[in-house]
Amino acid sequence: MVKFLIIGDLHGNKPIIHFKDFDAIIAPGDFCSDAPRKYMFEALKRKLENPKSKVNWWDLAGKKEAKKMIEKSRADGRGILEYLNSFNVPVYVLPGNWDWTGSDQEEGWKFVEIDYWKSLIKGLKNVVDLHHKFLDIGTHQIVGHGIISGPEYPQTKEDLARYKDNPRKLVRIKKDYNEQTKRVESLFKKTDKPVIFLSHNVPYNTPIDMINNPASPRNGQHFGSVIARNMTEKYQPLVCIGGHMHEHFTSCKIGKTTAINAGFGSYVNVLLELEGNKIKRLEFYNGESLKN
């Protein structure tokens, strides 16, 4: 039997731990704070309205100010990872799309194309990076797929149409999607025990991946991970644990798999207790709603 404390997206907010008895911590990403969010939303809005728009969020904020935001964001994320490391239990993590890996950014400014993830976790002996990795923890095995902030390949006619004038970019996206699929599938093929699938983003087109945020240009859309959905359907891990979609703090079933959205904020915790291929306990604690 093994007990996991699951931490959701923190975006620079130090978690308040409710559950005290656990063997390990699972945190599927987004440790760093998000001061550039309003500029990112505005840049995305412009690109959705006009696919030819070349405006990036750092153009709107100004590169000098943008650099300060990124440096503070990284410092905030490092502080959270140091705090989780201090519990002296294994901390199984993924980089999220806010963790400055360089791979989820539009090209155009070298400063945001650098992968800062390794420096965020450097020297933290209990923190285990599982991005595109396989880990056997004795009773269970873990497969990880991090960073992804939306479908790895466009899923709607409207999104596909945005690449009408830039077909080469769509080809590159498809190539990356195929490569990531093969990488994650190769990890699943190693498994021979009950599987814990960690994905920064939750599976696509499920009750836990719809955006419900009027401030977002993607409001009302399903925007989960296609790879997480496909791998979950095909291999039926015991659990699939993700976050990214702040609107949902709950679970749903995908076949035999229990898909968990770990939620957002410092007050949300999940306790997951596993025994072999069975979930003995799954408890969601939302201290923010209780506080209110």
Q: How confident is the model over 33-46, as a mean pLDDT?
A: 89
Q: What is the pLDDT of residues 207-263, one digit of tens each?
A: 999 998 887 878 899 999 999 999 999 999 999 999 999 989 999 999 999 999 999
User: Domains along the chain?
Assistant: 2-291 (3.60.21.10)
Contact assessment for residue 201 and residue 228, using Cβ atoms and an 8 Å cutoff: yes
The Cα–Cα gap between 100 and 114 comes to 8
Strands across the sheet containing 134-136: 134-136, 141-145, 195-201, 239-243, 257-261, 251-254
What is residue 292's predicted lDDT score, i.e. its pLDDT? 39
Nearest to 196 by CA among 167, 169, 228, 227: 228
Q: How confident is the model over 41-69, as a mean pLDDT?
A: 89
**What sections of the chain are H helices per DSSP?**
37-49, 57-61, 63-85, 110-113, 117-121, 157-161, 167-188, 226-235, 287-291
The Cα–Cα gap between 90 and 4 comes to 10
291 against 236, higher pLDDT: 236
The Cα–Cα gap between 154 and 162 comes to 10
The Cα–Cα gap between 156 and 133 comes to 30
92 against 37, higher pLDDT: 92
Query: What percent of the chain shows pLDDT beyond 90?
Result: 78
